[in-house]
Amino acid sequence: MRERFQEELDGVSSTLVEMAGLVKIAIENATTALLTADLTLAEKVIAEDLVIDQIQHDLDARTISLIAQQGPVATDLRTLVTSLRMSADLERMGDLAHHIAKSARMRYPSTAVPPELSLTIEEMSRVCVKIIEKVALVIKNRDTERALELERDDDEIDGLHRKIIQTLLDPNWKHGVETAIDMTLLGRYYERCADHAVSIARRVYFLVTGRYANENS
């Protein structure tokens, strides 16, 4: 029975890693659609968000069933409860990729991002993808060192987000209010995606050590 239960726990972790992989692809594709006005790719991201949603629903049902049937305690219970919270974070990250793709669709056939901010958005996506790749390894390996690194990676995203805001506040901004609103939201989507990844990393750190990461600072 214990061996079977451990297989179920491992399956929960594997599914979380799978979700992270799908979110990574969604962010990459949504950014490409955004920067190239690729309507087909934007629609693909929007449609495939339903896949991430369904995986979360199925995983949460499995997790709750394990809690009910096995009556886990101590670390096992903490693992399952933590997985419910991590799956919610990953589902929300998928939603944010969905929002980016919807911005691309809304402005089609125009490109949603003005030229002077294209490189910043591209860099935000690159850092966000790096963070998602790292959080997948944190989940898979319960890697507390990488979990702590994510705090620093998030600072990089925050700096890029501030760069967008500074550009929007420049008196020479010439793209109007509508584009400024679009860019404010887009910057926020990437920034929030990274925040959810950091939340996952903190949960894994607590799961492994029984302490919150900032207790070491």
pLDDT, tens digit (0-9, with 9 covering 90-100), for 132-151: 999 999 999 999 999 999 98
Q: Which band of pLDDT confidence, cut at 50, 70 and 90, is reported for residue 75?
A: confident
pLDDT, tens digit (0-9, with 9 covering 90-100), for 142-184: 999 999 999 899 999 999 999 999 999 999 999 999 999 999 9
Q: Which residue has the tokens 């693992």?
A: 79
Question: DSSP 3-state assignment of 142?
Answer: coil
Structure tokens, 213: 């990461």
Domains for the chain: give ranges and CATH numbers. Answer: 2-216 (1.20.58.220)
Mean pLDDT, residues 61-90 taken together: 91
DSSP 152-211: HHHHHHHHHHHHHHHHHHSTT--SHHHHHHHHHHHHHHHHHHHHHHHHHHHHHHHHHHSS
Mean pLDDT, residues 30-53 taken together: 98
Is residue 202 a contact partner of residue 213, using CB atoms and an 8 Å limit? yes
Cβ neighbours of 56 (radius 10 Å): 22
Q: CA angle at residue 34 from 200 to 37, to 5 degrees?
A: 155
Tell me what the pLDDT averaged over the chain comes to: 94
Residue 87 has pLDDT above 80, yes or no: yes
pLDDT at 73: 80
Q: Which band of pLDDT confidence, cut at 50, 70 and 90, is reported for residue 71?
A: confident
